[in-house]
Chain A
Amino acid sequence: MVENTIHATQAVVTLDVALPGIIWGWMITLNMWAKSVGTGVILVGAFLLYRHKREEMPNLRWTMPLISFIFLNIFLLFTLTDLHQPYRMINIFLHPNWTSAITVGAWMASLFTALITLLAVIGFFDAHPDVRRNCALAKKVRANSGLYEKIFPFVVFLAIPVTLYTAIIMAESSARELWQAPAEVMQMMWAALLAGSAALSLVSDKWSRETRRDLALVLAIATFFSFLMYMGEYFFSFKSAEAEATLAYVHAGGAYNVEFWFGMALGFIIPFFLAVSNMKSDNKTLLRFAAILALVGLYMAKDVWLKIPQMLPLS
Chain B
Amino acid sequence: MKLGFLVDLNLCMGCKGCEVACKVENEVPLSSWRLRVKYIDIGTFPDASRSFTPLRCNHCESAPCERICPVSALHYLENGIVNIDNSRCIGCAGCMMACPYGAIYMDPETNTADKCTYCAHRVESGMMPACVVACPVQANIFGDVEDDESHISKYIMEHQGGVQVRKPEKHTSPKHFYVGGGAQTLDPLAHERIEGYSLFNKITHLDAIGDKNHGVLDRFLAPFEGHEEADNSSMMDWVSSADSKKEGGH
Do A and B truly interact?
yes
Taking beta carbons and an 8 Å cutoff, which residues of A are in contact with B?
5-7, 9-24, 81-89, 91-92, 95-97, 99-103, 106, 169, 172-176, 241-242, 245, 248-249, 252, 254-255, 310-315
Select B90's contact among A12, A89, A99, A176, beta carbons within 8 Å: A89
Inside 8 A of B184's CB, which chain A residues have their CB? 9, 11
Knowing A314-B101, A314-B102 are in contact, say whether A169-B94 is a contact too (CB < 8 A): yes
Cβ of B164 < 8 Å from any Cβ of A? no
Residue contact A19 to B71, C-beta cutoff 8 Å: no
Residue B159 at the A interface, CB < 8 A? no
Scoring B97, B214, B238 by chain A CB atoms within 10 A of each residue's CB, the highest score goes to B97
The digit string for B211-250, where 1 denotes a CB below 8 A from any CB of A, is 0001010011001000000000000001100001111101
- State the majority secondary structure of interface residues on B: loop
Task: Return A309 CB to nearest CB of chain B, in Å.
Answer: 9
> B170 near A174 (CB under 8 angstroms)?
yes
Contact B92 A99 (CB under 8 A): no
With A and B bound together, what is the CA distance between A66 and B39 in angstroms?
56
Contacts of B245 in A (CB 8 A): 255
A20 to chain B, nearest CB (A): 5
What are some 22 contacts across the A-B interface (CB < 8 A)? A10-B43, A11-B42, A15-B199, A17-B203, A20-B102, A21-B205, A21-B209, A83-B91, A88-B71, A88-B88, A92-B71, A95-B88, A96-B70, A96-B71, A99-B67, A101-B68, A102-B70, A102-B92, A173-B94, A175-B100, A175-B101, A252-B248
Instruction: Tell me whether B90 and A92 are in contact (CB under 8 A).
Output: yes
Note all chain A residues with C-beta closer than 8 A to B68. 99-102, 169, 172-173
B11 touches A (CB below 8 Å): no
Q: How far is the CA of A314 from the CA of B166 in the complex (A)?
A: 10
Beyond A13-B39, A18-B205, whether A174 also contacts B98 by CB under 8 A is yes
Which of B72, B170, B185 sits near A97, CB closer than 8 Å?
A: B72
A23 contacts B190, C-beta separation under 8 Å? no
| Nearest CB in chain A: distance from B1 CB, A | 23
Q: Is B31 an interface residue (CB 8 A)?
A: yes
Given A88-B90, A174-B170, A315-B38, 19 additional A-B pairs, CB 8 A:
A11-B40, A12-B193, A12-B194, A15-B199, A16-B36, A17-B203, A81-B216, A81-B219, A83-B90, A89-B90, A91-B71, A92-B70, A95-B71, A97-B70, A102-B68, A173-B94, A174-B99, A242-B189, A315-B166
Least CB distance from A50 to B in Å reads 35
Q: A314–B223 contact, CB under 8 A?
A: no
Chain B residues with CB below 8 A from A242, complex form: 189
CA distance A241 to B100 in the complex (A): 13
Interface size class of B (residues with CB under 8 A): 35 or more
Kindly state the separation between the CA atoms of A195 and B66 in the bound complex, as whole angstroms: 33
List the interface of chain B (C-beta within 8 A of A).
31, 33, 36, 38-44, 47, 50, 55, 64, 66-72, 88-94, 96-103, 105-106, 111-112, 166, 170, 172, 183-185, 188-194, 197-200, 203-207, 209-210, 214, 216, 219-220, 223, 238-239, 244-248, 250
- B250 near A312 with CB under 8 A, answer yes
Chain A residues closer than 8 Å to B220, beta-carbon distance: 86-87
Whether the pair B41, A14 counts as a contact (CB closer than 8 A) is: yes
Q: Are B223 and A19 in contact (CB under 8 A)?
A: no
A241 cross-chain contacts in B, Cβ below 8 A: 189
A175:B31 contact, CB within 8 angstroms: no
Q: Are B205 and A91 in contact (CB under 8 A)?
A: no
Point out the residue from B88, B183, B203 that lies within 8 Å of A18, measured CB to CB.
B203
Q: Would B44 and A20 count as touching, CB distance under 8 A?
A: no
Q: Are A20 and B97 in contact (CB under 8 A)?
A: no
B234 to chain A, nearest CB (A): 15
Report the separation of the CA atoms of residues A312 and B250 in the bound assembly, to the nearest whole angstrom. Answer: 8
Tell me, in angstroms, the Cα distance from A175 to B100 when the chains sit together.
4
Chain B neighbourhood of A254, CB < 8 A: 248
> A-B pairs with the 5 shortest C-beta distances?
A84-B91, A314-B102, A11-B191, A15-B39, A11-B184
Task: Check A91 against B90 for contact (C-beta < 8 Å).
Answer: yes
Q: Is the CB of B44 within 8 A of A314?
A: no
B198–A19 touching, CB < 8 Å: no
Interface centre among A81, A101, A315 (most CB of B within 10 A): A315
Q: Shortest beta-carbon distance, A301 to chain B, in Å?
A: 18
Asked whether A313 lies within 8 Å of B70 as measured between CB atoms, the reply is no
Contact between chains at A17 and B93 (CB < 8 Å): no
Closest B residue to A90 using CB positions: B90
Name the B residues within 8 Å of A312 (CB-CB): 188-189, 250
| B219 adjacent to A313 (CB under 8 Å) | no
Partner of A315 from the list B72, B93, B103, B170 (CB cut-off 8 Å) is B103
Instruction: Please state if B204 and A18 are interface contacts (CB–CB under 8 Å).
Output: yes
Expressed in whole angstroms, the Cα–Cα distance for A87 and B99 within the complex equals 25
Kindly report which residue of chain B lies nearest to residue A170, judged by CB atoms.
Answer: B97
Provide the residues of chain B in CB contact with A101, threshold 8 Å.
68
* Cα distance A86–B92 in the bound complex, in angstroms: 9
Given that A91-B88, A103-B70, A174-B172 are known contacts, is A17 also in contact with B250, CB under 8 Å in the complex? no
CA distance A20 to B97 in the complex (A): 11
Contacting pair B92 A83 (CB below 8 A): yes
Query: Which residues of chain A come closer than 8 Å to B70, judged between CB atoms?
Result: 91-92, 96-97, 100, 102-103, 106
